[in-house]
Chains A and B, each alone.
Chain A
Amino acid sequence: MIRNLYFETTNILFTRAQALVWVANGLSFLDLFEKSSGNLLSEIITKCPEEKTLIINFKGIIRFDDHCLDKVFNSLEGNRKQIIIINGEHLHSEFIKLKKEKQININHDSVNKLLIIGNNRPFDIEDLNQEREISVKKYISNVLKSTFSKFEEYKRLCSTPFLANGEFDSKKIIESPKDFMWISFYMSDKLFQLIESEKLTDVVLVSASLRGSSFTSILGILNELEYVNIDHIGPIHKVYDFNNLDLKHRNRNYVYIGDFVFGGTEIKLTKVYASFAGARLDHALVLGSLFDSSVFNDFKLHELNTLREIATDAKFKLFD
C-alpha cells in the first residue's frame, strides 16, 4: 500500500500530504493532517534512503492534529534524512510546536518558500523540482498511454467520423487505486491553474459520462467545488436525470470534466443542456484529446496531457 503513496527518482522521493490523508482517513477532512496520516508519512521516511531528499507537497493542508508528527520526528532522529516541504510555509510554526523537545532541524527558506527539516545538506531546488516535474510528466504520459487497447481491426469511434485501430479507455485509470489517486491530484492541480488563469468564478464541475463522473466527483472534493453528474448524455443522448439541471445554477460557470475527447460531441451536448439551466460552459478539462484544442470553437479545451504526443500506436482514418 505504501508503495502507491510516493514516487522515487534518482535523487528524490516525493509525495503529497493529501494523498496520505485520503488513504489514512478518507476524504472528509482533506485540510487536516492527523496522526494516521503522520504514521504513513513516517513509513515513507523510513523507506527513503539517506542520500535522497524527500519532497512533500503540503498543498491543501491547513491544520495539524496533536501527535500527528510524533512518529515523523522519531524517524528523523539524528537529522540524517532530509525533507523539503513545499506549499507548507504557513505550517512552519505548527511544525516547530509539534517537534516539542526533539532535536530536529527545521529551517525556513523564505526565498524559495520551503521548509527544510532534518539534514541541512545543500541542494539545488531548481534541479530537484525539475527532476520531480519530469517524473510526473512521464508518469502521466505512461498512464495515459497504457489506457490504449488495440482492436483486431479498424472500428468506427462512436459519434465521430473516424475509424480507429484501438481505443483509449480511462477505466484502466479509474480501476487502479494508485493511478486514480495520482491522476486525480494532477487533474486537480490543472483545474486549479485553469480557474486561476481564466479567472473563473462561481464554478460548477459537470460530467456527462460514467467515467467522467468518477473524476468530477473527486475533483469536486479536492477543489472544493460543486459538481453535477448528468446521467447518460451519450452518443445517443438519453438524459436520465432530466431534473438534474439545477435552476440555481443560472449564470454559473460550468467546467466540463471528462476523460478522452475525439469529436467533442459530448461536450457540445453538455454545453447545450447547460444553457437550458442558464449556465455557461466555456471550458473543458480532460485527460487527453485526439485533436488540438484550437479545433474546438465552442469551448476552450484543456488537457492533462496531449494524446497526440503519447499515442504513437494509435491510428485514425476518416470513415467513408
Chain B
Amino acid sequence: MEILHITDLHLDNFTGESEFLRKGFYKEYIDRLYNALENKIKPVKIDYLIVSGDFVNIGKVENYSDVEIILNYILDKFSIDKKNVCFTIGNHDYKWKELDKSDIEKEKKLKNPFFKFRNKYNSTFVVEAEHFFLSKLDYNTYYLSIDSTWNSLNGSPGQLSVSEEDKLIASLNDNIENNDTLLIGCHFPIISFDSNFLAGEEMDWHNNHVWIKGNTLRDRIKRLNIKNIVWFHGDVHASDQKVIENEIFVLTSKFGGIADKSEQKRQAVLISIDESNISKIACKYEFPTHGQDQRLGDWDCSELQELRKFKINTTTINVNQDELTPFNQEVENEILRLVKERDLYKFGRFHVSEEYISLGWVDINRLMSDKELLNRISDKCYEFISSKITSLPEEYLLLGVEIIGGVIASQLSVRLNIKNSIIPVRSKSDHYSEFEFSHSSAFDNINNIKDVILFIDIISTGNTINSLIEEILLRNEKINIHVISIITNDIEKKIRSIPKTKSYITFCTKLKIPIIKHSEMPTEEYVVPNLKF
C-alpha cells in the first residue's frame, strides 16, 4: 500500500500571487512533485492520500471550494480514487477565534464547513462521532481521524473527556483485529520530536503545538495490540519521524503557504506498507539559491528509507514451527530450578522402549509432587484449554498419560466439567486389566468427541505420543487432538511439532535427555540397566 501524506495547505488566497498553491502555480507545483517521485519509483501508484489538517488558512472556510480544485488535481494526477482521501481537521480549518468559552454546540457549528467539504469525498464511515471518525480502507487497513482541536479554546491542542476517549477506544476494539494496520490522522503531534526548531521562537510553544493531553489516548490505542499503528501529523511545519515498537509517527512539513525566509521546506511524504515492512520517501521543495521564488525551486525526493520491519506474529502454540518455546517462561524456569536443586536428573541406562535407551532420567513424579508447580501448570493448562473450548463440554475429552498426565487430567476435569481418562502406556503386559485402554466410559462416546486434549509428562523421541494419537484416530479419525507435555526433550531432533495434531504446547524445552538405540549400546551384561519397562 502506498500513501501520500501532505499537510498544512494553508490556502489563504487562491487568486493571489505569493502562495505555492495559488491558481497560477498549483498545477506546475503538483506536476513537479509527481515527476520527482517518478524518478524514484516507477510507476507512481498511490492508493491513499492523507491530508492532516490546515487545508485553509486562519479559518478562511470560504476557501474550501478552491481547496477542492487543488485536491481534485492531485487525485487526478496521481490517479487516486476520490473516496480514498483521508481527512483530518486542523486548528486553521475553523474560526476558533469566535469561541470565547467552551461551547460544544458552537464548536460543531464552526466546524461544519470542514465536514461539508470532507463529505464531498467520503461520507460513509465505520464509526462517526463528533471528535473522530473511522473508515475502512481495505480488508485489513483502517483510517482513524482524530480531532485534536476538540474542546480547545485558543487554537492550541484540545482535550477529550474520558468518555470521549472510551467511545473512540470502543470503536477500535469493535472493529480492528490484531493483524490490521491502523493509520491515524491527527493534526497536532502527539509526541515530542527531536527537532522542533520552531520551539524556541514562541512562548509556551510546546503546550501550543504538542498534544500532550492526548497521551493517555495514544497509550490506550497502543495497548490494543494492533500490528501497525502509523500516526500522521502536521501543524509544526517541520519534518521528522519516530519509530517506537509497533508505532510510527510521521511528521511532515507544510505543503502550501507563502514563501518566506525561514528554513521550512515544503514537503510531501510517501509511506509504503507491505507484508513485512514500512518505508518512507521524503520529498522536499528545494531552492538553489537563497531566493524563494517558487518557480526557481523543485522537488527533491530522498531514497526509499526503511522505517520498520516486522515479523509475523508467533504464538506459543507450536504447529509446524521452527522454534519450540515454552508455554510459560516462569514455569520452565521453576522446572529447571527444581530439577537442579532437588537432584532430579539421573544418568544411566534406562530402557524406555524396545528400540531406544535413554541415558538420562528425570524423576518427573518427584518434580510434580511440588504442589505449587503442579497447581501452576494446571492453571496454565486451564488457560490454554479454555481458549480452545468453543462448544459443549460433552464434545471434549481429557486424556492423561500415566501418573502425571492422569493427575493433571483428573484435577482439570473438575474445573472444566469435561470427562477424563487415564491411559497407561508403559506396561502393556497381561497383568493389566483388559479394561485398560479401550474400556472406559469416556471412550464409549468417542464418536461424539470433537477434541481430545492429551497430557503427557515427557516427550522424548515422540514414539509414545505418536502411537497414542494413531490409536485415538483409529477410533475416530475426525477428532482434533491437542497435546500438552511437561517436558520436551531438547535433543537435536527436538519434537517441534506433532503430526496430525491441532496444537501442541510444552512447559520445558531446555532439558536434554540423550537417546540412543539399543544396538548402539554395549549389551546388558556390560552395562546393567537402571530401569526397564
Contacts and interface: CB of A to CB of B under 8 A. Distances in A.
Given A28-B375, A175-B442, A238-B533, A231 B427 contact: no
Contact of A167 (B371, B410, B435): B435
Nearest to B374: A217
A211 interface: yes
B191 interface: no
B407 A244 contact: no
B365 A231 contact: yes
Contacts of B406: 174, 210-211, 213-214
Contacts of A228: 365-366, 369
B274 interface: no
B431 interface: yes
Contacts of A28: 372, 375-376, 379
A240 B406 CA distance: 17
Interface stretch (B51-59, B92-100, B247-255, B413-421): B413-421
A244 B364 CA distance: 10
A148 B374 CA distance: 31
Contacts of B393: 1
B393 to A, nearest CB: 8
A177 interface: yes
Interface string A212-234: 01100110110000111111101
Interface string B278-316: 000000000000000000000000000000000000000
Contacts of B439: 149
Nearest to A240: B531
A167 B433 contact: yes
A176 B420 CA distance: 7
A27 B413 CA distance: 12
Nearest to B342: A246
Contacts of A22: 414-415
A137 interface: no
Contact of B403 (A171, A174, A218, A231): A231
A231 B405 CA distance: 13
A177 B371 CA distance: 20
A241 B365 contact: yes
A23 interface: yes
Interface residues of A, number: 45
B379 A26 contact: yes
Contacts of A159: 431
Contacts of A177: 413-414, 416-420
A232 B531 CA distance: 12
A172 interface: yes
Interface string B422-441: 10101101011101000111
Given A26-B415, A221-B371, A244-B366, A158 B382 contact: no
Interface in A235-255: 235-236, 238, 240-244, 246
A165 to B, nearest CB: 14
Interface string A89-128: 0000000000000000000000000000000000000000
B532 interface: yes
B422 A211 contact: yes
Given A158-B433, A210-B403, A227 B369 contact: yes
A169 interface: yes
B419 A232 contact: no
A293 interface: no
A113 to B, nearest CB: 29
A259 B415 CA distance: 22
Residue with the highest number of chain B CB atoms closer than 10 Å, among A167, A175, A238, A242: A175
Given A210-B406, A234-B427, A1 B533 contact: no
A175 B411 contact: no
B441 A175 contact: yes
A223 to B, nearest CB: 11
Interface of B: 346, 363, 365-366, 369, 371-372, 374-376, 378-379, 382, 393, 402-403, 406-407, 410-411, 413-422, 424, 426-427, 429, 431-433, 435, 439-442, 530-533
Given A175-B441, A235-B431, 5 more contacts: A22-B414, A169-B433, A210-B403, A218-B407, A243-B363
Interface of A: 1, 4, 22-23, 26-28, 149, 158-159, 167, 169, 171-172, 174-177, 180-181, 210-211, 213-214, 217-218, 220-221, 226-232, 234-236, 238, 240-244, 246
25 contacts: A22-B414, A23-B414, A26-B415, A27-B375, A149-B439, A158-B431, A171-B422, A175-B413, A177-B420, A181-B414, A210-B403, A210-B424, A211-B406, A214-B407, A214-B410, A217-B369, A217-B411, A227-B369, A228-B369, A231-B402, A236-B429, A238-B532, A241-B365, A243-B363, A246-B366
